[in-house]
Amino acid sequence: MNSVTVLDHPLVTHKLAILRDENTASPAFRKTLLELGHVMSWPVFSHLNVANTEIKTPMEKTTEAVLVYPFPCIVSILRAGNGMADALSAALPEAPIGYIGMQRNADTHLAEPYFKKLPDQIQDRQIILVDPMLATGSSGVQAADFLKRDGAKNILFVCLVAAPEGIEYFHKQHADIPIITAALDRELDENAYILPGLGDAGDRIYGTK
Ligand code: URA
């Protein structure tokens, strides 16, 4: 309950520093996000369920811990989640990818859903829900609500940067969902951007403004 893991590793902090740097342009941002996602896939996927399964090598029979069926899935909160989903998917191509569309209302700063497309058997899969920025927590909470409404029972939330306010709100609504983040930042500003943060993740990934 209320589990938060902040990844503390030189590769994580080094790549995060590149992402935070305002001089990192979109192509380098995307490349570094992909690299950081690869690094994060190790701790993120360490939670996956496995079962000992008999395998026959060319030499003899053995048992190996193999992912259980149905395979885990990745669910990306559009649009910034896609960068992380791509990176995690490279490490686990067996995982189908679902999408939940959320957009932030510029006045209220609250997330509003506009799209959902999920893999089948969502209720039986381990779900890696990804969104780089856990700011107010509103998108993450609504996405988790969506998933639970469809029967999801086993969700892990993965982000790059989290604000204390977002973690508190997320866990007030979904105490059962562990959070893994590359960084826990100081606070939100008056426009609900994370400080020090990295700016608008979607704009920086896709070069939009
Ligand atoms: N979304 C972002 O992309 N950045 C923030 O700092 C907060 C929300």
110-146 confidence digits (pLDDT tens)? 778 889 999 999 999 999 999 999 999 999 999 999 9
Q: What is the CATH number of the domain that holds 106?
A: 3.40.50.2020
Query: Is the pLDDT reported for residue 61 higher than 80?
Result: yes
Q: What is the pLDDT of residues 160-189, one digit of tens each?
A: 999 999 999 999 999 999 999 999 999 999
Mean pLDDT of the chain: 95
Q: Averaged over 11-33, what is the pLDDT?
A: 97
Residue closest by Cα to atom 2 of ligand 1 = 200
CA of 201 to the centre of ligand 1 (A): 6
- The ligand 1 site (C-beta within 6 Å) comprises 80, 133, 135, 193-194, 197, 200-202
Query: Which residues are known catalytic residues?
Result: 104, 108, 200, 203
Q: Residue 167 is part of which domain span? A: 4-206
Query: Is the pLDDT reported for residue 10 higher than 90?
Result: yes
Number of structural domains the chain divides into = 1
Q: Give residue 112's pLDDT.
A: 80
Contact between residue 194 and residue 160 where contact means Cβ atoms under 8 Å apart: no
Q: Note the pTM of the prediction, 2 decimals.
A: 0.95
